[in-house]
Amino acid sequence: MEYSAAGVKYQLWFIEMKKTIKLYKEHGWDETKKIIIEENIYQQKAKDRITSEYGCIKKRIEALPEDIQEYMLRADLSTAKLIALIANMSIDRMLFEVMYELYREKIRLDESEITVIQVDNLFEEKAKQDDIVASWTEATTRKLRQMYLRAMAEAGVIRKETLNSRIITKPYVEQELRDLLIKNGMESYLYALTGER
């Protein structure tokens, strides 16, 4: 998967994702898109914004195996948020690397916080390794960092401590979600959340 800066305009959208999965299971993708636009399910002001949000959410859903999609529909709130974060990580390489290389490592080392500087340092390291990341402007990387930290906070894996630091709140991952991730070869997403391996 290549790096992309598309995440600057996308949020976690776990509620919208759950609604979209439910509609998709009942109606298929074509009818789901029509319903979402006509009924403004996402409560957006402009049709192009609805279409853009739908495209992102559909891509996230399609990145999840069917059994994890089904599980999200019946999961409790905190688990549904984790599944939304996993789906987001599965289509956003940089977010996955922030979670796997920084967040996971902090848990493994029993450290309690992630700082803005540490996230920025990871971006700088990736820019040295990849031309796409190197081409991002400072404003783009700042916005991506903000969106990633916001998504992580919404998913409950961090909480804001100060302007420049976030406290790690290691999530409880339900056994069924653990089993589904392992069964589907998605262990790295589990480990990104738990600090395992």
pLDDT in tens, 9-40: 788 899 999 999 999 999 999 999 999 999 99
Q: Is the pLDDT of residue 41 over 90?
A: yes
Whether the per-residue pLDDT at 8 is higher than 80: the answer is no
Domain residue extents for the chain: 8-85, 91-194
The whole-chain average pLDDT of the chain stands at 96
- The CA-atom distances, in angstroms, between 94 and each of 28, 89, 102, 148 are 30, 8, 11, 9
The answer to whether the beta carbons of residues 81 and 174 sit under 8 Å apart is no
Distance CA 145, CA 123 (A): 9
Q: Count of CB atoms within 10 A of residue 35's CB? A: 16
Q: pLDDT band for 197, please (50, 70, 90 cuts).
A: confident
Which pLDDT tens digit goes with each residue over 130-184? 999 999 999 999 999 999 999 999 999 999 988 899 999 999 999 999 999 999 9
Report the distance separating Cα 79 and Cα 56, nearest Å: 20
pTM over 0.85: yes
CB 116 within 8 A of CB 49: no
Q: Would you list the DSSP string of 123-189?
A: HHHHHHH-HHHHTS-HHHHHHHHHHHHHHHHHTTSEEEEETTEEEE-PPP--HHHHHHHHHTT-HHH
